[in-house]
Amino acid sequence: MSVELAEKTTHKVRVSAPAGVVYALFADAVNWPLYFSPSVHVERLEFDGERERLRTWCFMDGQLKSWTSWRHLDPVNRRVEFRQELPASPLSALGGIVNVRPEGPHSSELELLYDFSVVDDLPADLAWAERAADGHSRSQLAGLKAVAERWERLDELVLTFEESVHVNGPAELVYDFLYRAGDWPDMVPHVTRVDLTEDEPGVQRVTMETLTEYGTHTTDSVRICFPHAERIIHKQTTTPALLQAHTGEWSVVPEERGVTVIAQHTVVLREENIAAELGEHANLEHARRHVREAIGRNSRVLLAHAKQHAETAVRML
């Protein structure tokens, strides 16, 4: 017989930032992957100004989980209510409330209340749910506190840019090249090794080794693939010293003739490491230029090979 075990958790943290800033950051779920290390990707599926429906991919207790949820946003009272529509197994329900309370012009309290239940009375499932909910809550609050307390410099720390190329070939050939990252060592000169696993269709875990001007560089990332939309979302799960976070998207956009392939990136810079990485006289503007060029250069190389792959295949047909 199935029994649902109801559990509740409450977490609070004081943040040295205005309540309006803290609320705005929490309400902006689409950008959570930039600020919360466990968050991989958030898609807004519906929004009517107050209620939104989200699809989320996130690490919980080391496991990559996905779910859909509804949120009610109340900016006047700085309150967000949420409820998962399709919880990640073994959860049968999960929801809660977030309150942001001002404690002065530049100070606030963030309170996160969770309630959840699991199906059946398996101790292992309950223990996992408790551990995952607690760890997720603490990580989310810590991440929000860290970014909110840098709110006056956030525009300088966040950098978004893109590279693109036009391809005289079909979208499916370009997408196929981008999707088959495991084959890149045979196709892209600066990629020397790729370990790729896809335990769930469209969700890839990738470890990639590349050659740079500074030597060999290894990155770990998660990629969420949307073949019907010909998009691939990615997030680095381990970042180089200059980056707090790095997310991006490969997209294939049909044109009247051929397609345009876009590599879009957003990074959060780790300001405290600039001097050690770029020299004692380097500043934030130097770091922005360095990161923009380094990531952009790699993207341009991959885009060029995607173009070559598709256009060569078309000529051979």
The pLDDT-based confidence of 153 (bands split at 50, 70, 90) is: very high
Q: For residues 65-78, give the mean pLDDT.
A: 96
Residue 280 has pLDDT above 50, yes or no: yes
Assess if CATH 3.30.530.20 describes domain 5-149: yes
pLDDT tens digits for range 188-217 = 988 999 999 999 999 999 999 988 776 788
- Which CATH number applies to 154-316: 3.40.640.10, 3.40.50.800, 3.40.47.10, 3.30.530.20? 3.30.530.20
Alpha carbons 115 and 95: distance in angstroms, whole number: 6
Alpha carbons 176 and 171: distance in angstroms, whole number: 8
Q: What is the pLDDT of residue 1?
A: 35
pLDDT more than 90, % of the chain: 78
| Domain residue spans of the chain | 5-149, 154-316
The pLDDT-based confidence of 317 (bands split at 50, 70, 90) is: low
Answer yes or no: same fold for 5-149 and 154-316.
yes
- Prediction pTM value: 0.91
CA-CA-CA-CA dihedral for 55, 61, 62, 65, to nearest 10:
-20
Alpha carbons 88 and 214: distance in angstroms, whole number: 41
Q: What is the pLDDT of residue 6?
A: 63
Rounded to a whole number of angstroms, the distance between the first and last alpha carbons of the chain is 60
